[in-house]
Amino acid sequence: MLTRPIPSTGEALPVVGIGTWRGFDIGRRPGERAARRAVLAALFEAGGTVIDTSPMYGRAEAVVGEELPEIPGHERAFVATKVWTRGRRRGIRQMSDSMRLLGTDTVDLMQIHNLVDWRTQLESIRAWRDEGRIRYVGITHYSTSAFDDLEDVMRRQALDFVQLPYSIGLTGAAERLLPLAAERGIAVMVNRPFEGGGLYASVRGEPLPDWAREAGCASWSQYFLEFILAHPAVTCVIPGTGNPKYAHAAVAAGAGRVPDKVEARRMRDHWQRL
């Protein structure tokens, strides 16, 4: 899988990871657990390492913590989670619970989920980073309505990562936030690349164009993800799934070359005409 550097350190990060919202909020039924292990296995077999989760995602952190050690290559995992509460004590308690559920003493990336009480939580995260319990600091939001707030924090604070929505149908982040991330040396993790599945509805029954297949896209999933990766400020995209078939299709987007600006424009123009 292709990698891109985390600007603050130069560490190489695979460009496609796995998000755990909904897909990993499951119980202990053997079939469900086997499918999630297969999703994680698909990620690591393809050379990926990034797993994004949150205490907001129900049982997802616990499922990752229990299933990840069963996967060959799991020691390479880059695990990102979040703090999603108000108040210093609650934030520290939640981060401690996340580490316990994930089965680790160190988290690669701790993010402030949806900017909830971000000033308080950022102070605690930085303290834990200085203690070696957290490697990278980030902020997130899932909504374009929060872009002004994200921009303000990105301009005022030293951050390693920002996580935000960006897709072939939702390109607003390219106007200000992606250029700002490049300027400020902030890695970009892209969430909701399929807009909660809405992009698939827009192409239902439509064949991939021949020129896209010739360029290496074997599915609409790859098409949508490679459009995102065409932007040089994007460090990693994290499609969420609990389905091994979809996971294999997603991680395939990280292999080979990514589209250039001209090709990306052609991809979006074609999608808009459908």
- As given in the structure block, the two tokens for residue 68 are 């990840």
> Which residues 6+ apart lie within 8 Å of 269 measured at CB?
none
- 20 band by pLDDT with thresholds 50, 70 and 90: very high
Indicate the range of 214-218, 229-233, 270-274 predicted with least confidence: 214-218
Instruction: Give the residue-averaged pLDDT of 56-75.
Output: 97
Taking residues 76-93, report their average pLDDT.
Answer: 98
Mean predicted confidence (pLDDT) in 216-237: 96
- In the block, residue with structure tokens 């990766």: 229
Is pLDDT at 215 greater than 90 in this prediction? no
| Per-domain boundaries in the chain | 12-273
Say whether 173 sits in a helix, a strand or coil.
helix
Q: Do 106 and 79 meet the contact criterion of CB atoms below 8 Å apart?
A: no
pLDDT digits (tens, 9 = 90+) for 31-46: 999 999 999 999 999 9
- Residue 90, C-beta contacts closer than 8 angstroms, at least 6 positions apart: none
First and final C-alpha spacing in the chain: 30
CA distance 27 to 81: 20
What pLDDT is stored for residue 256 in this prediction?
85
| Residue 229 tokens, joined | 């990766």
**Residues 6+ positions from 210 with CB-CB distance below 8 Å:** none
Partnered with residue 134 across adjacent β-strands are 107
Is the distance from CB of 59 to CB of 24 less than 8 angstroms? yes
Q: How far apart are CA 268 and CA 266, in angstroms?
A: 5
User: Kindly report the CA angle at 254 between 110 and 135, in degrees rounded to 5?
Assistant: 20
- Residue of 256 and 143 predicted with greater confidence: 143
Q: What is the pLDDT of residue 246?
A: 95
What is the distance of C-alpha 91 from the center of its chain? 22
Instruction: Flag whether pLDDT at 64 surpasses 90.
Output: yes
Mean pLDDT, the chain, as a whole number? 97
Q: What's the mean pLDDT in 244-270?
A: 95
Say yes or no to pLDDT of 216 above 90: no
Which residue is it, tokens 């960006």?
166
134 vs 87: CA distance, rounded Å: 19
Q: H or E element: which one contains 246?
A: helix 244-251
12-273 CATH:
3.20.20.100
Q: pLDDT tens for residues 144-201?
A: 999 999 999 999 999 999 999 999 999 999 999 999 999 999 999 999 999 999 999 9
CB < 8 Å & 24+ apart, contacts of 205-211: 206/274, 209/270, 211/266
**Percent of the chain, pLDDT > 90?**
98
Segment 99-111 shows an average pLDDT of 97
pLDDT at 255 over 90: yes
For 29-57, letters b (16+ CB in 10 Å) and e give eeeebebbbbbbbbbbbbbbbbbbbbbbb
